[in-house]
Structure formats: structure tokens, C-alpha cells
Amino acid sequence: MKWWQPKVILLKKPLPIVTIYLLGFKLADIDSPAIKVERKYIDMILGQPILNKSEFIEQLTHNSFIVQIPHIRGRLQNRLDALLSVFEQKHFLDESGSIKEYNHSIDFPEVRRILDVLHTEGVDPARRKEIEDEIEAWRLIEGGNRNDFERFRLQIEQKDRQIEQERAEKERILAAMEAQQKELEELKKLLGR
């Protein structure tokens, strides 16, 4: 084996799954920019926590972390704040939002590595074009969603007006039929039937 070839280690048990959700929107009831979600076992019949862990269940489920990007404020109180500051939606240098300036001191090596990777990606012309194309695609999708929403809203309003017109027409016809029924009853009385 050569020194540059990675050593392959086979594990006999599965690795855990940990997901990180980066949200571009705010959750209604939670102001924290970073949330850790952990699993708990609950007996749904008794409504009590189950303290034992099952290897099978552990392989099916996973913990997760949720980052609310709009709540990142640039406060650098700890390593996590510094890491999240990379995702702040401020200090963009171009209109497309693909290049930004990092305005905080870099005190943690993890942040330096992330910024180096992002810088390398941003300077490579081919990769930068890919990033800008992706941003434009999302902008078109979001714009399309807004257009779709407006189109659907107008269609619903039109249907509501049509339903209201049909209801009014049915009420008018029903009132006319009731008036005719009254006239018929009066004619029957006059004729003695």
C-alpha cells in the first residue's frame, strides 16, 4: 500500500445518520438560530418514556440539527456562532448573491477551512458560473411559484364569483317558483278546489 492511498476500515455496524437542515425561513415559534432535535422513545399506550434503547430503532431513526438562517445575527459568542456566521445573509458583493465578504475575525480553524473551500469555489470561473446559474434557477422557481400563486388566487376568486352568481340565480328562480306556487294556491281557492 502506498502512503497516499487511504486505509480502508470495514465497520461491522452501521454509522448513525445525522441530518442538518438549513432553513431559509423562520419557524413561527422558535427564535434560536440553531436547534438540536434528539429522539426519545415514548410508550404511546401508557404515555411514558421508554428508557431502554433498541439497536433496530436506532438504525431507523436519527437526530437532527436545524439552522434558521434568517436568525443568524453575527454574534460570535462561541464556536457554533462563528460557524453559523458563514451563512449570514449579509455583506454580498454582487447582485446575484453569489459572492460575499466575511466581516468577522477568524478565530477557529473550522471556520477558516470552510471559508477557504468557499473562496476556492467562488474564484473558479466554471464553478462560479454554476453557482450563479443555480441562484438564477432558484430565483425563477420562486418567481414561478409567486406567479402560480397569483394565477391560482385569481382562478379561485373567479370561481367564487361564479359560485356566488349561480347561488343568486338559484335563489331568484326559487323565489319565482314560490311566487308562482302562491299564485297557483290563490287560483285554486278562487276556483274552489
Angle between helices 125-191 and 109-123 (to 10 degrees): 90
Reference 132, options 80, 93, 106; nearest CA is 93
Amino acid in position 141: I
Task: Provide the b/e sequence for 99-136 (b: ≥16 CB within 10 Å).
Answer: bbeeebeeebeebeebeeeeeeeeeeeeebeebeeeee
**Amino acid code (one letter) for 37:** V
The number of residues in the chain equals: 193
Per-residue pLDDT of the chain (193 residues; tens, 9 = 90+): 565 667 777 777 777 788 888 888 888 888 888 888 888 888 878 888 888 888 877 877 788 888 888 888 777 778 888 888 887 777 667 776 667 787 888 888 888 888 888 887 777 788 778 877 887 887 777 777 777 777 888 888 999 999 999 999 999 999 999 999 999 999 888 887 6
